Amino acid sequence: MAQIDYYFGTISPWAYLAGNRLEEIAARHGATITYRPLDILQLFDRTGGVRPADRHPSRLEYRAQELPRWAAYLGLPLRMDLPLANMAPSSYAIIAAQEAGGDVAGLVQGLLAARFAHGRDIADDAVIREALAAAGFDPALADRGLFVGAETYGRNLERAVAAGVFGSPFYIVTDSDQRFFGQDRLDFLDRYLAAA
């Protein structure tokens, strides 16, 4: 059975656009997923990337065209007018939920949709609690998971750098070290698991 480490930032519109395709692929091939939310901005700093605010205007202009194109292609609503958000609280909640067991995929997708479909602040405690409840988790996980969440969040960044991760979303099949960067590479992940 394949194991997929899924590295992502909860402020990544590209992770939002992945939707539930990773989970569908994993189910089709009997693979398991470990969700590893991390600070994507620090990952850029550590791996030679450039934070969006510091990118050349031509890159920002292209991104502003490409994101809506992908959203339309996938049939997903996408808010583009969002300020930068603190991704740590939502990441801690995901980490706590994964420790507790349950519908982590539903929580991840709920938080990403809260931000990118509905324009909500995913650092807001009420938004996080709503997403936890909607995915079947005790909303109090938002409080109980803070310490472990903070520790794991930092370790996820270190693990990502060591594993060759440089963006979000990033998928690694751990037993073979096959790496797939971007929601537009999910078809390649599917083909790889089918052939493995």
pLDDT in tens, 27-54: 999 999 999 999 999 999 999 999 999 9
Closest C-alpha among 5, 84, 59 to residue 37: 5
* Separation between Cα atoms, residue 100 and residue 98, nearest integer Å: 5
Mean per-residue pLDDT of the chain: 96
Mark out the alpha helices in 123-185 (DSSP H runs): 125-134, 141-144, 146-163
Q: Tell me the CATH number at 15.
A: 3.40.30.10
Please count the CA atoms within 13 angstroms of the CA of 193 that sit on its side-chain side: 26
Q: Give the three-class secondary structure for 170.
A: strand
State pLDDT tens for residues 139-180.
999 888 777 889 999 999 999 999 999 999 999 999 999 999
Domain, as residue range, for 190: 3-195
Residue 169's pLDDT is what? 98
Residue 146's pLDDT is what? 78
Average pLDDT (55-72) is: 97
* Separation between Cα atoms, residue 36 and residue 10, nearest integer Å: 10
State pLDDT tens for residues 96-116.
999 999 999 999 999 999 999
Residue 120's pLDDT is what? 97
Closest C-alpha among 51, 37, 52, 42 to residue 89: 37
Burial class (CB in 10 A: 0-12, 13-18, 19+), 146: middle
When divided into structural domains, the chain yields a total of 1
Q: What is the DSSP-derived secondary structure letter of residue 54?
A: G
Identify any residues that bridge with 5 across adjacent strands, giving them in sequence order: 34, 172
Residue with tokens 């992502």: 8
The pTM score is 0.96
What is the separation of C-alpha 85 from the centre of its chain, rounded to a whole number of angstroms?
Answer: 14
| pLDDT > 80? residue 184 | yes
Residue 147's pLDDT is what? 78
Q: Active-site residue 12, yes or no?
A: yes
